[in-house]
């Protein structure tokens, strides 16, 4: 979410890297909310390129950018992904204990 990126950008970027590198069975894609700062968008695109992951920049001005809005979505273009926990702070607890406690 935007709040998670606001609290700690580096932890979110690390979580994105871990999520896409841990999924070797699906061809993943990253949907990027264009309301993110250009600095963060550039870093997400770099992560995407480093991991041969497609990305889509969604620049619709109507997309929300409040604290609870999705900043990015990681998805599969070929099948539904069943991911029980999508909350960065709880899924990557080892990152959140030291980084998200701001």
Span 19-51, pLDDT tens digits: 888 877 778 899 999 999 999 999 999 999 999
Enter the pTM of the model. Answer: 0.76
| Closest to 70 (Cα-Cα) out of 95, 46, 53, 87 | 87
Alpha-carbon dihedral 32, 36, 38, 43, rounded to 10 degrees: -60
pLDDT value for 96: 53
Two structure tokens written together for 75: 């998805």
Distance from C-alpha of 44 to C-alpha of 39, rounded to nearest angstrom? 9
Handedness of CA 51, 84, 93, 66 (dihedral sign): positive
Taking 60 as the threshold, does the pLDDT of residue 17 lie above it? yes
Three-state DSSP class for residue 56: strand
Assigned CATH topology for domain 2-99: 60s Ribosomal Protein L30; Chain: A; (3.30.1330)
pLDDT at 83 over 60: no
44 burial level (CB within 10 Å; 0-12, 13-18, 19+): buried
Hey, where are the domains in the chain?
Answer: 2-99
């Amino acid at each position: 979410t935007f709040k998670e990126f606001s609290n700690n950008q580096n932890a979110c970027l690390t979580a994105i890297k871990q999520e896409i590198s841990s999924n070797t069975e699906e061809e993943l894609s990253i949907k990027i909310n264009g309301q993110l700062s250009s600095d963060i968008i550039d870093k997400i695109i770099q992560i995407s390129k480093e991991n041969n992951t497609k990305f889509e920049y969604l620049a619709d001005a109507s997309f929300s950018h409040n604290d609870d809005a999705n900043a990015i979505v990681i998805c599969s273009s070929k099948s539904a992904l069943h991911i029980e926990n999508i909350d960065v702070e709880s899924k990557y607890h080892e990152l959140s204990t030291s980084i998200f406690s701001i």
